[in-house]
Structure 1
Amino acid sequence: MATVYFDAATRRYAKDAAPAVDAVTLDIEDGEFLVLVGPSGCGKSTTLRMLAGLEPVDGGRILVDGHDQQGVRPRDRDIAMVFQSYALYPNMTAAQNMAFALDNSGVSKAETKTRVQEAARILEMEDLLHRKPGQLSGGQRQRVAMGRAIVRQPKVFCMDEPLSNLDAKLRVSTRSQIAGLQRRLGVTTVYVTHDQVEAMTMGHRVAVLRDGRLQQVDAPEVLYDKPVNTFVASFIGSPAITLVEAPVREGRAEVHGVPVALDRSVASGAGDRVVVGLRPEAWRIAGADDPGALELTVELVEALGSESFVYGRRPSTDGAEGERVTIKTEKRAGVEVGDVVRVRPLEAEAHVFDAESGERLGA
């Protein structure tokens, strides 16, 4: 196990190009499961590969247990990488694939066999060790790839979108297995994904990247409850948050004409316009006699069993398409496509951001 510290680490593919990873500073604790998340091209995989030694560090440095990794070869970093592609040797059995790195490192046959059997026990795949990759399912191949990393007993696991080739059902079960495995082994793990649901359910902390820059690093619930800017607010959460640019009058933001009271500390720095963010659960269905409610025409209802998500759009007054709002309701709300519903935002659940910078206002 080890600590990992990115100290203004930068990667630039061309001299005049914008950095793929731009001065990322990140402190990862011993035994922590940290998830790097962001849209395609944000630099998350490059950041991981820099740690593993597969990409150079063009500025700053990366420390593992306090030791600068500059000039240290990937094979000497004691870091195990699990890739998006399983990268298994097709002519070898699962056991041989798992043992390959140990065989090349001079580990004794007896020790290698013991490590492989222990990894197979942890991954519940003892009965698959004799099979070759072509005889395994996608989930089983991924377990072999995980086992290959486990037998090395590394200081750090690096995982680059290891579940992206699995179907939806298998992804759910496998991510719980990986999270449970990490807890059991206690190995510091840096995990890359573009799937924010995956990030929120697996990581002790989640680091959100955008255009190579670190936006926020926090526990999943903090990212959801207190996003530092509109990008994090819109990226984290499914369905996505509704962001509305609203004028401010007398300490209130006018969200589609509905007044939302602002906290005094927020109102003092708000200026004359803000962006108000309202997640699906931050709306309630209003009664017909509620004069301050917003009318929406229902376009889609997603019934998910215990709850439903209603997607509605404001009626347009100038012929243009009105803005869309997403609402979380009880499963028997009785709302159907084509209905006109009245909704009101819950002021206590509103996120308020600066209209110019997109940065969060208030606590």
Structure 2
Amino acid sequence: MATVYFDEATRRFSKDDAPAVDGITLDIADGEFLVLVGPSGCGKSTTLRMLAGLEPVDGGRILVDGHDQKGVRPRDRDIAMVFQSYALYPNMSAAQNMAFALDNAKVSKAETKQRVAEAAKILELEQLLDRKPGQMSGGQRQRVAMGRAIVRNPKVFCMDEPLSNLDAKLRVSTRSQIAGLQRRLGITTVYVTHDQVEAMTMGHRVAVLRDGRLQQVDTPERLYDHPVNTFVAAFIGSPAITLVESEVREGVAHVHGVPVPLDRAVAGRAGEKVVVGLRPESWHVVPTPDQRSDGSNGSSSSNGATGIRTDGSLALAVELVESLGAESFVYGRPVDAAEGADRVTVRLDKRTHLTVGDVVHVQPNHGEVHVFDAASGERIEA
């Protein structure tokens, strides 16, 4: 096990282009499972390869257990890499693939056999050790690739999108196996993925990258509840957050015309325009007049120009319904809104049934809004 420290680490593929990795500073604790996540081309795989020694560091440095890795060959770094493509030798059995690095390191046959047997037991591969990769499923081949890394007993695991070649069901089961395995072994792990759901369910902490720059490093819960900017807010969470540019008047933001009172400290730091973020669960459905138990006969009717009723709720025209059994998600646009208006996502419980073409009235939950500066996209803290 080891600590890992990226100290302003930078990688440039060309002097004329922007850095692929731009001055990343990141401290990874001994035994931590850290996930690097971000869109394609953001620099996450390059960051991982720099740690493994497969890419040079053009600026800054990378320390493992306090030792600068500059000039240290990949084979001497005691870092095991698990690739997306498995990279297994097709003419070797699972046992031979797992033992290959140990054979090259001149480890005794007895110790090699013991390590392979231990890894096979952990990964439930004992019945597959004599099979070649072509005789195994994708999930089994990925476990063999992981076993090849485990037998080395490295200081650090580097995993580069190891589940992306698996089908959806197998990805879910395998990611829980990887997370459980890391907990048992306690080996410092840096895991790369573009799948934010994978990142949120596996990592002790998650580092979000964009265009080679580190945006935020935090626990999954903090990333979801306190994103530092609109990029992190939009990237983390499924379905995605609704972000609406809104005017602020007298401490109140107007989201599609619906008044949303801001915290006094936030309002004091906000300009005339902010971006308000609302998660799908941050809305609640407001009953229409004919659903009310008080016999109301229309005192909360809609304003046709804006889709806002006199009770301050927003009328949404339903465009899509995703039913997931215990809950569903509704995607809609404000009634009579201009073309291209932001779409709103609302989570419903299983008792509420809507179809495309329906109109549903919703209001934001008090205290569940995220507020960002409209110019910079940075979060405005209370």
Relative to the length of structure 2, the TM-score reads: 0.94
Aligned pairs (5 A) from 1:205-220: 205-220=205-220
Answer whether contact 1:37 1:193 (CA < 8 A) is retained. Answer: yes
Aligned pairs (5 A) from 1:204-243: 204-243=204-243
- 2:325 aligned with 1:305: yes
Match of 1:341 among 360, 369, 374: 360
- What are the ranges of 5 or more consecutive residues in structure 2 without an aligned counterpart? 289-299, 301-309
- 2:97 aligned with 1:97: yes
Give the corresponding residue for 2:172.
172
Amino acid at match of 1:308: S
Amino acid at match of 1:51: L
Aligned pairs (5 A) from 1:148-167: 148-167=148-167
Give the deviation of 1:254 after TM superposition: 0.5
Match of 2:351 among 332, 337, 343: 332
Answer whether contact 1:315 1:322 (CA < 8 A) is retained. Answer: no
Runs of 4+ in 1 over 4 A off after TM superposition: none
Give the deviation of 1:287 after TM superposition: 2.4
Give the corresponding residue for 1:355.
374
Larger Rg: 2
Equivalenced residue count is: 362
Give the corresponding residue for 1:245.
245
Hey, what's the Cα distance between the residues in 2 that align with 1:3 and 1:327? 42
Hey, what's the Cα distance between the residues in 1 that align with 2:278 and 2:379? 13
Answer whether contact 1:299 1:311 (CA < 8 A) is retained. Answer: yes
Give the corresponding residue for 2:48.
48
Identical pairs, percent: 80
Give the deviation of 1:322 after TM superposition: 3.3
Hey, what's the Cα distance between the residues in 1 that align with 2:349 and 2:337? 30
Give the corresponding residue for 2:135.
135
- What are the ranges of 5 or more consecutive residues in structure 1 without an aligned counterpart? none
Give the deviation of 1:81 after TM superposition: 0.1
- 2:317 aligned with 1:294: no
Greater shift in the superposed pair: 336-345 or 40-49: 336-345
Give the corresponding residue for 1:267.
267
The verdict on how the C-alpha distance between 1:340 and 1:213 changes in structure 2, with shifts beyond 3 A counting, is same
Give the deviation of 1:108 after TM superposition: 0.2
Residue by residue, what CA displacement relative to the aligned partner does 1:78-98 show, whole Å, maximum 9, x if unpaired? 000000001000000000000
Hey, what's the Cα distance between the residues in 2 that align with 1:14 and 1:321? 39
Amino acid at match of 2:140: Q
Give the deviation of 1:336 after TM superposition: 1.6
Secondary structure at the residue paired with 1:266? helix
Residue by residue, what CA displacement relative to the aligned partner does 1:132-174 show, whole Å, maximum 9, x if unpaired? 0000000000000000000000000000000000000000000
Hey, what's the Cα distance between the residues in 2 that align with 1:321 and 1:239? 19
Hey, what's the Cα distance between the residues in 1 that align with 2:244 and 2:340? 15
RMSD: 0.8
Give the deviation of 1:317 after TM superposition: 4.7
Aligned pairs (5 A) from 1:27-46: 27-46=27-46
Answer whether contact 1:316 1:322 (CA < 8 A) is retained. Answer: no
Hey, what's the Cα distance between the residues in 2 that align with 1:43 and 1:265? 36
Hey, what's the Cα distance between the residues in 1 that align with 2:351 and 2:133? 47
Relative to the length of structure 1, the TM-score reads: 0.99
Hey, what's the Cα distance between the residues in 2 that align with 1:334 and 1:95? 54
Hey, what's the Cα distance between the residues in 2 that align with 1:362 and 1:261? 15
Secondary structure at the residue paired with 1:140? helix
Amino acid at match of 2:214: L
Answer whether contact 1:223 1:232 (CA < 8 A) is retained. Answer: yes
